[in-house]
């Protein structure tokens, strides 16, 4: 029997993880079914005139849970996206927001398209038409349903969506809050593009901060010098790898892409490889390291940390027995099937689950949404006060010690925090608090022996508490 028949689908895997948490928390069957069910999925087919003819496109927007409003979740552009994938991603968003204590419900969108087949003007036409269809049906709104970037989309597409919604709702004061992940120049927020990758870095840092967790995974010491294998050098994988490399001293020993993998035990310059990939569209031919045509095999390379940052179902029953990483850090959504996860657990390989580790994007999206509603950037009224206080502190210290402090130190003390500093601080706090709650739940509950189950228990506790305190719908 091959792995396709043995491995659960992405949606089934999410639901089976929820079932484990339901059993541990003794949630009544009716409420559990309501929590798991997708509230609504809107499918739309629309034509766009281009190249002298009409092309018809199919897209979805799925709302998993409206226990918190607005619902939040990205829109992905991919040639193989379908309704089940969108619903699985929407469900994961519900639990992700609950784990990170972000007051959103879960949603997701998808458009079946290969963005590489279209020019920028064509993509703008398609995106604006898709946004119009969703907005007219009530599936884009600053108060009810707020999209964000995902696979195949980015700040450019979010700016188009925001503008299209504004055109349809010219008197909505908060129209720009209808979508997050916009360019900073279009009322976005600094740090949003890097947010998911930065959150991955912070999550891994949290894991290494606890000696007990590191030792249980067979890892000694800190992050300095640890070997990292990255699958997917897109936005998430690239930012996570470069932050871990430059700021934590991790050595990237392999990068897996669609056309193969670059392997170099001496360490790979992720910035240089990313630049090469952007210029050539692939990693084949990169002048450093060894090229492995069968990139999927490199998932089983000997390393300390494996960072799957591509698509779902990359670690399956077929390759899980051969995974040699000590820690699998799920930077992508659903990269490990339910059955493969059980194999990794039996083998003593620690897994930082996607429902926690991938939440950096939505955490910073929340800050952008708040910024758009308040119409003022973070720190606008405090930065100068911080600088004045810093100046006074330097003056007092210099008077006390009888000499001037080094210029580099005084500059650091006297400079107020920029908006991106505040964003990163908020994200780091979110990831730190969430991990502490997850590991605490794992430690105090006998039935829990892994971080994924602990994360889902944390999420369901919050969701169930909401329904019980409010009486549900």
Catalytic center residues: 108
Report the largest interatomic distance among the alpha carbons of the chain, rounded to a whole angstrom: 79
Q: Which of 353, 344, 320, 318 is nearest to 431 (CA)?
A: 353
E-only strand ranges, 304-374: 305-308, 327-329, 350-352
User: In this structure, what token pair is assigned to residue 70?
Assistant: 């607005």
CB 267, CB 276: distance < 8 Å: no
CB 331, CB 200: distance < 8 Å: yes
What are the residue ranges of helices labelled H in 70-219? 83-99, 120-136, 155-168, 195-209, 211-216
Tell me how far apart the alpha carbons of residues 156 and 125 are, in angstroms, rounded to a whole number.
13
CA 131 to chain centre: 22
* DSSP one-letter code for 416: P
Cβ neighbour number for residue 386 with a 10 Å cutoff = 15
CB 252, CB 260: distance < 8 Å: no
Q: Is the peptide bond before 70 cis (omega within 30 degrees of 0)?
A: yes
The SS3 assignment for 402 reads coil
Supply angle C-alpha 251, 339, 447, rounded to 5. 95
Tell me how far apart the alpha carbons of residues 274 and 277 are, in angstroms, rounded to a whole number.
5
């Amino acid at each position: 029997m091959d792995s396709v028949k043995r491995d659960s689908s992405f949606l089934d895997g999410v639901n089976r993880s929820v079932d484990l948490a339901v059993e541990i928390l003794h949630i009544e069957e009716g409420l559990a079914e309501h929590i798991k069910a997708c509230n609504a999925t809107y499918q739309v087919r629309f034509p766009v005139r281009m190249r002298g003819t009409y092309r018809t496109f199919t897209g979805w927007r799925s709302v998993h849970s409206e226990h918190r409003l607005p619902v939040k979740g990205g829109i992905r552009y991919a040639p193989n996206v379908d309704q089940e994938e969108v619903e699985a991603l929407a469900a994961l968003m519900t639990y992700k927001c609950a784990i990170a204590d972000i007051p959103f419900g879960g949603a997701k969108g998808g458009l079946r398209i290969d963005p590489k087949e279209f020019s920028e003007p064509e993509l703008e036409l398609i995106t604006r038409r898709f946004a119009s269809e969703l907005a007219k049906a009530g599936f884009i709104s600053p108060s009810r349903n707020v999209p964000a970037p995902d696979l195949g989309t980015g700040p450019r597409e979010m700016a188009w969506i925001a503008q299209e919604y504004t055109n349809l709702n010219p008197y909505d004061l908060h129209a720009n809050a209808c979508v997050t992940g916009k360019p900073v120049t279009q009322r976005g927020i600094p740090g949003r593009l890097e947010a998911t990758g930065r959150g991955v870095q912070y999550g891994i840092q949290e894991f290494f901060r606890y000696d007990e967790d590191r030792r249980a995974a067979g890892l000694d010491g800190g992050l300095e010098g640890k070997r990292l294998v990255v699958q997917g050098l897109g936005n998430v994988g690239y930012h996570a790898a470069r932050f871990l490399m430059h700021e934590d001293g991790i050595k990237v020993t392999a990068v897996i892409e669609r056309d193969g993998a670059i392997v170099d035990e001496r360490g790979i310059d992720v910035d240089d490889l990313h630049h090469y990939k952007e210029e050539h569209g692939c990693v084949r031919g990169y002048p450093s390291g060894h090229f492995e045509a069968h990139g999927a095999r490199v998932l089983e390379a000997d390393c300390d940390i494996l960072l799957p940052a591509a698509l779902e179902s990359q670690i399956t029953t077929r390759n899980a027995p051969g995974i040699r990483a000590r820690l699998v850090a799920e930077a992508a959504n659903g990269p490990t099937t339910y059955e493969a996860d059980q194999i990794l657990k039996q083998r003593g390989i620690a897994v930082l689950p996607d429902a926690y580790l991938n939440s950096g994007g939505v955490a910073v999206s929340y800050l952008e949404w708040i910024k758009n509603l308040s119409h003022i950037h973070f720190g606008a009224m405090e930065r100068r006060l911080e600088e004045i206080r810093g100046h006074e502190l330097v003056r007092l210290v210099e008077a006390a010690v009888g000499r001037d402090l080094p210029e580099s130190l005084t500059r650091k003390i006297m400079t107020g925090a920029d908006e991106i500093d505040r964003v990163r601080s908020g994200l780091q706090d979110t990831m730190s608090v969430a991990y502490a709650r997850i590991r605490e739940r794992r430690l105090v509950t006998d039935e829990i022996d892994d971080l994924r189950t602990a994360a889902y228990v944390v999420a369901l506790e919050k969701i169930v508490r909401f329904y019980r305190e409010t009486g549900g719908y």
